[in-house]
RNA sequence: UGGGGCGUCGCCAAGUGGCAAGGCAGCGGGUUUUGAUCCCGCCAUUCGGAGGUUCGAAUCCUCCCGCCCCAGCCA
């Protein structure tokens, strides 16, 4: 394990296991159920599981926990694999499926029946709930609990043959109906579902539950550390019970950590699905979604997401991480990796009447990294600047273009505002300025430096683009706790503008390429919709801004 | 009110008997052809609370308080 990684209880635990003589390589697994798209919380689990394997020279499996066919689909299986790879990880060997172990699981169920440790129960779901008791009252034994081994065997075989209807019977473990741990009150091992499975088709009319499947899957694969979230802690005694009572080839160990929660987001798959189904967003990969696919389409780089997951740490205490931390990781990565370009969002015509002739400027693509090279930009008599960058008059805090004051056009000349035209409503429609310098990049000869620098594009040589500006989807920090998710939505989470003008070269941006539009923020060429004929950029995130809040 | 967890700065989080790391946020200053970046500085005499053990406690003990999870034939 590299020394620079901060310690956490998982790494400490594994180091301890290794020191205590764990003789096999560390093997972890990322075990999603294919019933939705992966989200930022899964990203955390992925970096934990794949990261641990990597740090300890072990391996990590990708295993679909597909024990509930009615909620699962091939679409999710495909998207999950794509997302894991995009995040930068490759699983060891083939993709695994819990469903590939159905026959083994079935045989282990027979074993438990044989041992008198499992029985077929005919209680209806409602009756079973009654018999289960409550948190403070013990449950009662099912009237079917003492069936003979042969009767249980015969009944379970009939279940497997599809002779009963859905919900008619279940197979339960015989543990302790009075246990203070609800999971030990004769948990269900198999339920009847005449449902076609995306992997096994109609081969099985019965499906194992999570509890009966997960630990055994881990055992089959030789998983050394089965890492899951805190809510499964109460299941660990049951996990261990199966491992102890079944002839499994290996004893995996379950360790729980606190799931990742980030402010202003929701990670319930059920609720995310509702946003998609209700068309509140444009799909699972809408750039406002906390899904991996959404973050990707928003322009969040995979290395930034991985770095964020490492930075927040891994512990056992519930909490909520400030979204600003993820955003910081994104800005940090993009600042170093995104080439600079100019985009004028709210164009205002600027005329340089005394510019002798159009000139071609060589402008750096990155202020701190020469490897990005430079690009040629045309500076003509007529330009566009942002409306926000001009005022007829302003106090000294306004470092942009003002009548009678100087400002530099990024990478070009220093100019001075002279006058402006307005329409009948008083709206400024054109600004006139004179050139103070004649050589690009030079300072004024009189030594009076410009107040600031503004960005611009050539009126003639720029091209229109659609800019999709995103803001957080929810306006409350903890939408998961809102009584009504819909009322917590931010009505301005998406603002589309077709007014923007961009440098012509931006037309040729590759899908998913991210640029910094100087003085604005980071923008990504939309993965699907961007084209040279119709450039479309999604705002990834704005630049940090210490001005607008205090003065603007 | 049964059981299982968790409480260290505004938000995350190291630390496990010997001087309370770090990141994010925030605040001040410097550099700057991006109000960005970068750089410098500030930001917990105290670890949920109260007792106790100890030369010494965030770390060990006792009691108390707060928050989270569990009563799916979901995972």
A369-406 CB burial, b ≥16 within 10 A, e <16: eeeeeebebbbbbebbbbeebbbeeeeeebbbbbbebb
Distances (CA, A) of A74 to A58, A81, A101, A192, A279: 29, 11, 18, 22, 22
pLDDT in tens, A211-239: 999 999 999 999 999 999 999 999 999 99
pTM strictly above 0.95? yes
A247, two tokens:
């002839």
Give residue for tokens 């509702």: A274
DSSP A279-317: TSSSSTT-TTSSBHHHHHHHT--HHHHHHHHHHH---SS
When pLDDT is averaged across residues A51-79 and rounded to a whole number, the result is: 97
A233-247 CB burial, b ≥16 within 10 A, e <16: eebbebbebbbebbe
pLDDT over threshold 80, residue A32: yes
Gap from A279 CA to B35 C1', in Å?
Answer: 38
Q: Of A44, A174, A191, A269, which residue is the catalytic one?
A: A269
Q: Using CA atoms, how far apart are residues A321 and A266, in angstroms rounded to an integer?
A: 13
pLDDT in tens, A491-507: 999 999 999 999 999 99
Residue A498: Cβ-neighbour burial (10 angstroms; 0-12, 13-18, 19+): exposed
- The nt closest to A552 (CA vs C1′) is B35
pLDDT in tens, A513-540: 999 999 999 999 999 999 999 999 999 9
pLDDT over threshold 70, residue A552: no
Gap from A50 CA to B32 C1', in Å?
Answer: 41
When pLDDT is averaged across residues A392-417 and rounded to a whole number, the result is: 96
- The nt closest to A257 (CA vs C1′) is B5
Which range among A12-21, A97-106, A302-311 shows the weakest confidence by mean pLDDT? A12-21
- The nt closest to A9 (CA vs C1′) is B14
Maximum distance among all Cα pairs of chain A, rounded to whole angstroms = 104
Annotated active-site residue A161? The verdict is no
When pLDDT is averaged across residues A65-88 and rounded to a whole number, the result is: 98
Contact status, residue A527 vs residue A296, Cβ threshold 8 Å = yes
Q: What is the pLDDT of residue A550?
A: 55
Gap from A364 CA to B29 C1', in Å?
Answer: 29
First-to-last alpha carbon distance for chain A, in angstroms, is 48
Q: Of A11, A33, A388, A472, which residue is the catalytic one?
A: A33
- Provide the positions of strand B that have an atom within 7 A of a protein CB: 1-8, 10-16, 21-25, 27, 33-38, 67-75
By C-alpha to C1' distance, B75 is nearest to A210
By C-alpha to C1' distance, B74 is nearest to A68
pLDDT in tens, A291-329: 999 999 999 999 999 999 999 999 999 999 999 999 999
Percent share of chain A, pLDDT over 90 = 95
Q: Using CA atoms, how far apart are residues A44 and A61, in angstroms rounded to an integer?
A: 16
pLDDT in tens, A166-185: 999 999 999 999 999 999 99
For A357, which DSSP code? S
Q: Of A140, A259, A375, A399, which residue is the catalytic one?
A: A259
pLDDT in tens, A342-359: 999 999 999 999 998 999
Q: Using CA atoms, how far apart are residues A407 and A411, in angstroms rounded to an integer?
A: 12
Gap from A8 CA to B16 C1', in Å?
Answer: 12
């Amino acid at each position: 394990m590299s020394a620079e990684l901060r310690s956490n209880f998982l790494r400490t635990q594994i180091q301890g296991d290794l020191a205590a003589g764990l003789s096999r390589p560390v093997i972890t697994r990322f075990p999603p159920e294919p019933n939705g798209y992966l989200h930022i919380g899964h990203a955390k689990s992925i970096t934990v599981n794949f990261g641990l394997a990597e740090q300890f020279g072990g391996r990590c499996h990708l295993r679909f926990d597909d024990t509930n066919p009615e909620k699962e689909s091939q679409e999710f299986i495909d998207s999950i694999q794509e997302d894991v790879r995009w995040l930068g990880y490759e699983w060891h060997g083939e993709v695994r499926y819990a469903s590939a172990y159905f026959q083994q699981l079935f045989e282990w169920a027979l074993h438990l029946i044989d041992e008198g440790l499992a029985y077929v129960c005919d209680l209806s779901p409602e009756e079973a709930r009654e018999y289960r008791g409550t948190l403070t009252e013990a449950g009662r034994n099912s009237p079917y609990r003492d069936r003979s081994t042969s009767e249980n065997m015969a009944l379970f075989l009939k279940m497997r043959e599809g002779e009963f209807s859905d919900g008619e019977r279940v197979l339960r473990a015989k543990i302790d109906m009075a246990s203070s741990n609800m999971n030990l009150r004769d948990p269900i091992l198999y339920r009847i579902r005449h449902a076609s499975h995306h992997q096994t088709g109609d081969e099985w009319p019965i499906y194992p539950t999570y509890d009966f499947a997960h630990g055994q899957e881990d055992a089959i694969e030789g998983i050394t550390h089965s890492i899951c979230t805190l809510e499964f802690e109460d299941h660990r005694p049951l996990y261990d019970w199966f491992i102890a009572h079944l002839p499994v080839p290996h004893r995996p160990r379950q360790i729980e950590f606190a799931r990742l929660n980030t402010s202003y987001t929701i990670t319930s798959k059920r609720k995310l699905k509702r946003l998609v189904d209700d068309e509140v967003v444009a799909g699972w990969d809408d750039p406002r979604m906390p899904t991996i696919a959404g973050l990707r389409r928003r322009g969040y780089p995979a290395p930034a997401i991985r770095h964020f997951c490492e930075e927040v740490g891994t512990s056992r205490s519930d909490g909520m991480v400030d979204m600003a931390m993820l955003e910081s990781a994104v800005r940090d990565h993009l600042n170093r990796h995104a080439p600079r370009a100019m985009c004028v969002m709210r164009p205002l015509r600027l005329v340089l009447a005394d510019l002798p002739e159009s000139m071609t400027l060589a402008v750096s693509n990155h202020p701190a990294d020469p490897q990005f090279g430079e690009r040629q930009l045309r500076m003509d008599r007529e330009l566009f600047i942002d409306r926000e960058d001009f005022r007829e008059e302003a106090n000294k805090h306004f470092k942009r273009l003002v009548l009678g004051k100087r400002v530099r056009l990024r990478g070009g000349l220093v100019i001075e505002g002279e006058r402006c035209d307005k329409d009948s409503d008083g709206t400024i429609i054109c600004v006139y300025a004179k050139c103070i310098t004649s050589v690009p990049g030079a300072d004024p000869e009189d030594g009076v430096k410009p107040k600031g620098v503004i960005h611009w594009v050539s009126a003639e040589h720029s091209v229109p683009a659609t800019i999709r500006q995103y803001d957080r989807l929810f306006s409350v920090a903890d939408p998961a706790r809102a009584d009504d998710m819909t009322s917590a939505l931010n009505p301005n989470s998406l603002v589309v503008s077709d007014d923007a003008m961009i440098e012509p070269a931006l037309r040729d941006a590759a899908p998913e390429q991210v640029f910094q539009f100087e003085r604005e923020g980071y923008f990504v060429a939309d993965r699907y919709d961007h084209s040279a004929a119709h450039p479309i950029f999604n705002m990834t995130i704005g630049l940090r801004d210490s001005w607008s809040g205090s003065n603007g």
